[in-house]
Amino acid sequence: MAEAPMLEISRVGKRFTMGGDVVEALRPIDLTIARGEFVCLIGASGCGKSTLLRIIAGFETPSSGSVRANGRPATGPGPDRGMVFQDYALFPWMTVRENIDFGPRQRRLPRRELDDIADRHAALVGLSGFRDRYPHQLSGGMKQRVAIARVLANDADILLMDEPFGALDALTRARLQEDLLEVWERTQKTIIFVTHSVEEAVLLADRVIVMSAAPGRIDSDNAVALPRPRDVASPEFNALRRAIGDRLTSHLAARAA
């Protein structure tokens, strides 16, 4: 018997009212994601990538359609879906340890268990030596690791990542890409990752979902069968990067016309 999908998006559409006009942000979308898959969403600015991610997270209500996570309706935020933002969204008055164990603390777990959760997840993202630091004492890359650890500490089944490395320099971004893949391989979480970078999507994902310009819809669903670790200089990698890049370029050209 086939395993049920981790995420089922069925005919999800989204419309906004702006200044009396109705704006269609997402045209009905169907998407199924398996347990443990790493999926990247990519598309031009304004194509609805982040809107779709926020609908999955339960922060936005779809105008039509439904989302099911792990077989259950996802009609609002829940601990099974954890969001990682580009701007980290850490509590500045809390230490690394306190930021990581914030979710478990709301469940009133014993102090010893909270310490174990914080220590384990700090180690998972390479921050064991920084547990008592505050966010202002950390680099951008370290802050993003704390944000990832905080979601993992909440035992989320699905990690929703909205351009988490977009504000980082190239070297830090490359290191965090490697770290994220290592965490994913160790935890086998399901990851949905929004990015503007074709190279980043092909480097990270099992599948790259290309979205068209607004109103957003799925243009193509591209399997990435390249073995890991992936070589960004290989002919196979660059052939796939060009093919996906061509899809994006065609959307931009059509919108400009």
What domains, with CATH codes, occur in the chain?
Answer: 7-80+157-256 (3.40.50.300), 89-155 (no CATH)
Kindly state the average pLDDT of the residues 9-23. Answer: 87
Angle made by CA atoms 90, 94, 95, in degrees to the nearest 5? 100
Kindly state the average pLDDT of the residues 170-182. Answer: 90
pLDDT at position 158: 94
Measured CA to CA, the distance from residue 88 to residue 97 in angstroms comes to 15
- Asked if the model's pLDDT at residue 191 lies above 90, the reply is yes
* Sheet of 158-162, strand order: 81-84, 158-162, 190-195, 38-43, 207-211, 218-223
In single-letter form, the type of residue at position 46 comes to G
pTM: 0.90
**pLDDT > 90 fraction of the chain, expressed in percent and rounded:** 57
58 sits in the region (left: phi over 0; alpha: psi -120 to 50; else beta) called left
DSSP-assigned states of every residue in 95-162: -HHHHHTHHHHHTT--HHHHHHHHHHHHHHTT-GGGTT--GGGS-HHHHHHHHHHHHHHTT-SEEEEE
Q: Which has the higher per-residue pLDDT, 243 or 249?
A: 243
How, if at all, do strands 81-84 and 158-162 pair?
Answer: parallel
Measured CA to CA, the distance from residue 108 to residue 176 in angstroms comes to 32
- 3-class state of residue 243 by DSSP: helix
- With CA atoms as reference, report the closest residue to 40 among 187, 208, 176, 154: 208
- Asked if the model's pLDDT at residue 257 lies above 70, the reply is no
pLDDT at position 38: 97
Evaluate whether 193 touches 38 at the Cβ level (below 8 Å): yes
Evaluate whether 144 touches 168 at the Cβ level (below 8 Å): yes
Q: What is the pLDDT of residues 38-85, one digit of tens each?
A: 999 998 887 888 899 999 999 999 999 999 998 899 988 988 899 998
Q: What is the pLDDT of residues 78-132, one digit of tens each?
A: 888 999 988 888 999 999 999 999 988 888 888 888 889 999 999 988 899 999 9
How, if at all, do strands 38-43 and 190-195 pair?
Answer: parallel
Evaluate whether 30 touches 181 at the Cβ level (below 8 Å): no
- With CA atoms as reference, report the closest residue to 148 among 180, 117, 178, 120: 180
Q: Which parts of the chain fold into alpha helices (H)? A: 49-57, 96-100, 102-106, 111-124, 140-153, 170-187, 198-204, 235-256
- Mean residue pLDDT of the chain comes to 89
pLDDT at position 162: 92
Answer positive or negative: Cα dihedral of 91, 93, 95, 98: negative
